[in-house]
Structure 1
Amino acid sequence: MPSVIRPAIPHYVAPPPTQENLEYADLAILDFSKIGTPEGRAELSIQLRDAMTAHGFFYIVNHGLTQAENDRIFDIADVAFSGVPEEEKRNYLANIKSGGSYQGYKLREYWHIDGGVRDQIEHYNINKDVNRRQHPQAMSPLLPEVEEFAKFNYCQVLQPLLRLFALGLELPEDTFINMHNFTSPGESYAYRAIVHFRGLHSYERPSDDEIKAKQVWFKGHTDIGSITLLWSQPVTALQMLMPDGQWRYVRHIDNALTVNSGDAMEFLSGGFYKPTIHRVVQPPQDQRGYNRLSVIFFAMTDDDVKLVPRVESPVLQKHGIQRRWADDADAPTMDAWRKGRTRAYGLVETKMKENGTEENIVDGIAVKHYN
């Protein structure tokens, strides 16, 4: 990333990796050192397409961010939680219920998880336009670094990925890039702490709550947007639902990205790229007592993009198109889908289905939750 002024802040010390014998998902690893040539992109596009149709998750290595730069981003993410007093956080709450936006803080015990248990997940979200709203005092001098990190994710990771997703459908390479403009209005996020910068802190729960919620911290779900970039961290709690119906853990790899697609990409690809079903559970025994700090980059299309399939794709013409609505005229825009799902998660009643999944309706489309 380009050099910016780096204020002195406390160093975040990550928990040690688990030593427990867990069942991990066997995921593809994409080497982004190959992304610079047409031959390399062609190879990676096939690898990505196979990963997305088999599992929906994959890793990226050699993406261009050094381990030291990675460590600094986690230092910044931790400031949003440990460096901001609780009373100050309340001045920067996200307008979730009425505005359908996660910008700002979502504090703990906002969502209902299961069995009367509420969540212990806190996150801070910064839009790709870091100046869109005010920030806590401790975060303000760090915004230039957050902005540079957002641009790195967008230019060095997201744009190349969008080219690969398009190539996998035999579409022009810029098909999806043209729907994801960094400077356009919208709710893509740069830092979900992280376009969305999100720093996310999961806190330990009382043992009674673990039993009531079946050790689930965040129910099985799909993401709202097109692509999610999760910067790997060592607390092993992320699981994905495999094609055989089993939940398996996602392994931590130092300075790697874990990537999955979301609802928007499913809609745009006519169901070819399935949104990844994943959840967060109680960590293994040797990692309990540690808080889990995550840094996530959520990419969404521009707000006005109508999420209809790219019917011109030769691949979709061959394999068929699956829609979640009766007619393309009924398809939501990114803005409507984002707001509808954001307003509903953990706040509205879900209907239990015979197969054990739960369901609620957003814009006439069934949204499933898995446990």
Structure 2
Amino acid sequence: MPATTIPSVPHYVPAPPTKEDLEWADLPIIDLSKASTPEGRAELAPQVRDAMRTFGFMYVVNHGLTQAQNERIFDIADVPFSQVAEDEKKQFSYDIKATGLYKGYKLRQYWHIDNGVRDQIEHYNSAYLHRTILKQDHPKALQPFLPEVRTFAEYNHYNILHPILRLLARGMELPEDTFVDIHGFDNKGEGWIRFMKYYPRTDEDEQKTKNVWLKGHMGATKQIFPVPVSALQIMSPDGKWRWIKHIDNALVINAGEAMEFLSGGFYKGTIHRVRQPPADQQGYPRLGVFYFALTDDDVVLRPLTQSPVLQRLKKKDAVVEEEVINGVVVKHWN
């Protein structure tokens, strides 16, 4: 059989990693290759549990995607920004605040950051990619790559997200597929690939915003692919902002608000933000690739109180009130 050819695309060359000694967040590194066996999952589950309870973020390595595959998806990620004219971008842009749709383009200067300064971020969402990405309208330059984007999303969902969800379930002593069963891909589930590009700003805008490019926020369960430009920070448990360090071919995973709700606060949806890169990376654009995973449409975001872990915590944290009635001490658990 003839070899399958893939469409050519200009190679995206990112900025070199920073050499500055920043205050890095000491995130755990999870070796996902171990998740393929029961023994490996038993070893990883407490590591993932503690990472998501303490930080809400972690690195994932040995996830099955090669460096070349990651470079290819970044080449594709730059297409909606460098290969599409402004007029065509406007045809595929949506008013997020008015429609609630994270679909197509979010163009620059849509969000207000501070002191009259608006954002310099463009992103392109392949919304509901698992259902209709091949049927949706997309910019002409991106269309040849849609099958690759769909395949990339499917790999992320089944080979990265699902193993992590199984580990999170084990961390709460729930059946392994508890979270997997409510994060579908082809039917009731939701998720999308986002390509996102931050453009450098003027010194005046940096001063007005105190170097913040995107304010602190939370969100859905998210996989962030390796971005050499350092700009992401998390709110550490001690209340200090710390930088997320770039590790070649390592993913950054965060839990998000939905997981915080479902776990009754056992797992943390950590606040994070994006700010101006360090001095040796200023002037470079910052291209990012993200996979967002939401629960199925019909899932009610309430704590899974059947978790033995939550039940033990409830007993431990119960507030005991006492009063004396006819000389007898009566206890009330609030």
Q: TM-score normalized by structure 2?
A: 0.90
Shift of residue 42, structure 1, vs aligned partner: 1.2
- How many residue pairs match? The answer is 310
Shift of residue 186, structure 1, vs aligned partner: 5.1
Shift of residue 133, structure 1, vs aligned partner: 2.1
User: Paired residue for 1:192?
Assistant: none
Equivalent position amino acid for 2:28 in 1? A
Deviation track 1:275-304 (CA, whole Å, cap 9, x = no partner) reads 011100000111011000000001100122
CA distance in 2, matches of 1:115, 1:214: 10
SS of the residue 1:105 aligns to: strand
The question of whether the paired residues in 2 share the 8 Å contact of 1:230 and 1:294 is answered with yes
SS of the residue 2:113 aligns to: strand
Shift of residue 98, structure 1, vs aligned partner: 2.6
1:216 to 2:212 alignment: yes
Equivalent position amino acid for 2:237 in 1? P
CA distance in 2, matches of 1:270, 1:131: 37
Q: What does 1:226-245 align with in structure 2 at a 5 Å threshold?
A: 227-245=221-239
CA distance in 2, matches of 1:87, 1:34: 48
1:149 to 2:152 alignment: yes
User: Paired residue for 2:199?
Assistant: 203
User: Paired residue for 2:252?
Assistant: 258
User: Paired residue for 2:321?
Assistant: none
CA distance in 2, matches of 1:43, 1:116: 50
Equivalent position amino acid for 2:85 in 1? P
Equivalent position amino acid for 2:139 in 1? P
User: Paired residue for 2:320?
Assistant: none
C-alpha change, 1:295 and 1:278, in structure 2 (3 Å) is same
Q: What does 1:106-125 align with in structure 2 at a 5 Å threshold?
A: 106-125=106-125
Equivalent position amino acid for 2:125 in 1? N
Equivalent position amino acid for 1:263 in 2? E
Equivalent position amino acid for 1:281 in 2? R
Q: What does 1:283-302 align with in structure 2 at a 5 Å threshold?
A: 283-302=277-296
The question of whether the paired residues in 2 share the 8 Å contact of 1:163 and 1:176 is answered with yes
Deviation track 1:147-166 (CA, whole Å, cap 9, x = no partner) reads 01001100110010110111
SS of the residue 2:227 aligns to: coil
Equivalent position amino acid for 1:219 in 2? K
C-alpha change, 1:95 and 1:303, in structure 2 (3 Å) is farther
The question of whether the paired residues in 1 share the 8 Å contact of 2:170 and 2:176 is answered with yes
RMSD: 1.3
The question of whether the paired residues in 2 share the 8 Å contact of 1:94 and 1:101 is answered with yes
SS of the residue 1:39 aligns to: helix
User: Paired residue for 2:185?
Assistant: 182
SS of the residue 1:43 aligns to: helix
User: Paired residue for 1:103?
Assistant: 103
1:73 to 2:73 alignment: yes
User: Paired residue for 2:332?
Assistant: none
Equivalent position amino acid for 2:218 in 1? T
Gap runs ≥5 in structure 2: 316-334
SS of the residue 1:98 aligns to: helix
CA distance in 2, matches of 1:313, 1:4: 48
Give percent identity, aligned residues only.
58
C-alpha change, 1:132 and 1:179, in structure 2 (3 Å) is farther
Shift of residue 320, structure 1, vs aligned partner: 2.9
Match of 2:138 among 135, 138, 142: 135
User: Paired residue for 1:332?
Assistant: none
CA distance in 2, matches of 1:275, 1:133: 31
SS of the residue 2:126 aligns to: strand
CA distance in 1, matches of 2:73, 2:311: 42
Shift of residue 54, structure 1, vs aligned partner: 1.3
Equivalent position amino acid for 2:252 in 1? T
Shift of residue 94, structure 1, vs aligned partner: 2.7
CA distance in 1, matches of 2:285, 2:89: 18
